[in-house]
Structure formats: structure tokens, C-alpha cells
Amino acid sequence: MDEVQIKANLMIADEIGKLIEKLSKKAQKERAKINSASITYKGEVYKSEQDILDAYACDYFTEAVCDKLMDRLNEARGKADPNCLTDTEMLVHELDMHKSDLLHAVAFDKEMKRRQEEKDKRMLELTSEGYSIREAENIIGNEERMRFE
């Protein structure tokens, strides 16, 4: 990557960050709506599927009523499962992954350039000491292997 691409990727990552902030607020509102959804049946308030199933287990109503109450609760939640991500939450997650990928690519590219500069500097030192280019390449290769051992 050249400097223009690095700068562009950093700008894109910054814009994605702004979009993530904006969408996170929307996702929090959606999650709050899902978590606060409730229905009422014969004066009793049911906030979760477990509440409905507990009442059904105590024979407060029939299986058909239980199914209808589950459907009503899901409608109140906006058809979103409280255990799953909403569309906005999934979008925030995906955008965050793309932002991380961009930043990782930029960091990786900078590290590769830094290493290449070190290698070039070392090559210049060795050739100025009288080593041939081939000998200098072998010495640098050996030094790199020693670094990773």
C-alpha cells in the first residue's frame, strides 16, 4: 500500500467508526424495546416466554392460548428473538469487523515497510563492510532466523 491508500483506509475506518456510533444508539433502543416487551392476559403481565410457559405449567390456560400468547409476545418484540442479534446489532458487528480488518491491514503494511527498511539498512551496512550482495543476503537471512528461534 502506498501512503495515499493508507490515508484512505484510515479515513474509511474513521467514517465506519462514526457510523458504528450512530447505529449503536439505534441498536440499544431496539434491544431495550425487545427486552421491555410484554403482554397482558386476564390481568397478568407476561414479559418473557418463560413467564408464559410457567403459567401454562400451572394450568392457568390451555396449550392453544399458550401458543397465541407466545405469538403476541413475539409481535410485541417486533419478531426478534431476545437471544439473537437484531438487524442493526448485526450491522454494527459487521461494520466493526470491517473496521478492524482495515486497521489491521494498515498496521501490517506499516510493519512490513519498517522491516524492509531495516533489511535495506543492514544490507547497506554489510555491503559497505565489503561483503558481496549474496553474502549480505545470507547474513541477513540467518539473522532473521535467529530472531525467531
Question: pTM for the complete prediction?
Answer: 0.65
> Are residues 41 and 69 in contact, defined by beta-carbon separation less than 8 angstroms?
yes
**Distance in angstroms (rounded) separating the CA atoms of residues 58 and 64:** 15
Residue 59 is classified by DSSP as T
> Are residues 1 and 106 in contact, defined by beta-carbon separation less than 8 angstroms?
yes
Question: In this structure, what C-alpha cell is assigned to residue 16?
Answer: 465506519
Q: What does the pLDDT read at residue 147?
A: 82
Confidence of residue 16 (pLDDT cuts 50, 70, 90): very high
Confidence of residue 30 (pLDDT cuts 50, 70, 90): confident
Q: Average of pLDDT values for 46-71? A: 87
Q: Give 82-139 pLDDT, tens digit per residue.
A: 567 888 999 999 999 999 999 999 999 999 999 999 999 999 999 999 999 999 999 9
> Are residues 131 and 143 in contact, defined by beta-carbon separation less than 8 angstroms?
no
